[in-house]
């Protein structure tokens, strides 16, 4: 699968969970949520997922990566799929990640 095709497939497969995450964030009172669909096979996607997981669980980055590795292994054990994660963060938090 070509990189562009892979990204398109990843988006198509996760658009509904991303929409649900967005609606859930709004319902929980989060203002201006940013939704990430992170490819856990991609180095940068995995790195961002680890950082977001560390922030969400209030652990260090190494533990965040361990949690992501476990999540990716669990997803891949279910069958031949692209391991991905849908995560939400507020706009300010997303801007802070973009600056780092």
Q: What is the pLDDT of residues 11-28, one digit of tens each?
A: 999 999 999 999 999 999
In a domain, residue 7? The reply is yes
The pLDDT of residue 1: 62
pLDDT cut 70: percent of the chain above it: 97
In a domain, residue 18? The reply is no
pLDDT at 100 over 80: no
The domain total for the chain is 1
* Integer Cα distance of 78 and 95 in angstroms: 34
In a domain, residue 29? The reply is no
* Integer Cα distance of 34 and 21 in angstroms: 10
């Amino acid at each position: 699968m070509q990189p562009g095709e892979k990204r398109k497939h990843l988006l198509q497969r996760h658009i509904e969970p991303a929409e649900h995450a967005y609606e859930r964030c709004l319902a929980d009172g989060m203002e201006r949520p940013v939704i990430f669909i992170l490819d856990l096979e991609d180095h940068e996607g995995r790195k961002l997922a680890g950082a977001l997981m560390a922030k969400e669980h209030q652990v260090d980055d190494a533990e965040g990566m361990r949690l992501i590795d476990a999540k990716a292994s669990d997803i891949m054990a279910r069958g031949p799929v692209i391991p991905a994660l849908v995560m939400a963060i507020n706009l300010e938090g997303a801007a802070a990640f973009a600056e780092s």
